[in-house]
Amino acid sequence: MRLQDKVAIITGAAGGQGKEEALLFAKEGAIVIATDMQKDLMEKTGEEIKAISPKSEVMVHNVAKDEDWKKVVDLAIEKFGKVDILVNNAGISTDLNIVETSLEKWDQVIDVNLKGTFLGMRHVIPHMEKNGGGSIVNISSIAGLTGGSGASAYTASKGGVRLLTKAVAVDFAKKNIRCNSVHPGYIETPMTKELFENEQTHDWFQSLTPLPRLGKSIDIAYGVLYLASDESNFVTGIELPVDGGYYAQ
């Protein structure tokens, strides 16, 4: 029970990595406030979470909206009196290069991936300060560590998450608030299912990863669990690649 009685907000928790994180946190004793834009799917996932951690809550939540964040954090404080952990997991992707990217698409990706992370921390940190500390885990990407080709808006957003994480880690270390980022590699999730269904594409992406398989959502969840737990209480400002060795090349 590595998160016994801790209150954790996890965004993008309806499926994929966020769902695995929420279920794992619940198994480790946390009260989870799981949020997502996908109402029906979030409610279904919420039933699984509550079967493990009955006090947990589910909310429909657009991370790019300030007023939505206020509702989520207000619920946490009103019901549980604190927020110990924030996992900024919600995100969207695009594979367009900078010329192909419309202003609308750019704004959409930056709003969800970077602005959403900013808003979450801005709302949660004052309560963590009052509570004597906390742990923030921001989900970036290997695209936040390297350039790569295409996906200009996605890469910019995830690079922004990486450095925003470090800025917050330094600014609030004296308040015992830790802030770290996780950088998934090529992971099999509902979002990548269609891409990896093509055997040739699947094998090509696997060939880029030194370990002999693609990652799974639970691989990311275990990394997030470590950074959220007290086991990492002397760890802040790091970037943790969970990528099968991709970034080591």
- Write down the pLDDT at residue 150: 78
DSSP characters for 122-137? HHHHHHHHHHT-EEEE
DSSP characters for 194-223? HHHHSHHHHHHHHHTSSSSS-EEHHHHHHH
* Residue (of 140, 190, 133, 130) closest to 162 by Cα position: 140
Site of tokens 């594409």: 201
- Helix, strand and coil in the chain, % to nearest 5: 50, 15, 30
The helix/strand/coil state of 121 is: helix
Q: What angle do CA 33, 35, 36 make, to 5 degrees?
A: 170
What does the pLDDT look like over 166-217, one tens digit per residue? 999 999 999 999 999 999 999 998 778 777 888 898 999 999 999 999 999 9
Question: Cβ distance 126 to 77 under 8 Å?
Answer: no
- Write down the pLDDT at residue 148: 73
Strand partners, 188: 216
Identified catalytic residue from 154, 186, 222, 226: 154
Site of tokens 């969840």: 221
pTM of the model: 0.96
| b (16+ CB within 10 A) / e for 220-248 | bbebbbbbbbeebeeebeebbbbbbebee
Helix (H) or strand (E) holding 72: helix 66-80
Per-residue pLDDT of the chain (249 residues; tens, 9 = 90+): 999 999 999 999 999 999 999 999 999 999 999 999 999 999 999 999 999 999 999 999 999 999 999 999 999 999 999 999 999 999 999 889 999 999 999 999 999 999 999 999 999 999 999 999 999 999 999 999 998 777 999 999 999 999 999 999 999 999 999 999 999 999 998 778 777 888 898 999 999 999 999 999 999 999 999 999 999 999 999 999 999 999 999
154 is an active site residue: yes
CA 33/CA 180 separation, integer angstroms: 20
- Write down the pLDDT at residue 210: 96
Please tell us whether the domain made up of 7-241 is placed in CATH 3.40.50.720: yes
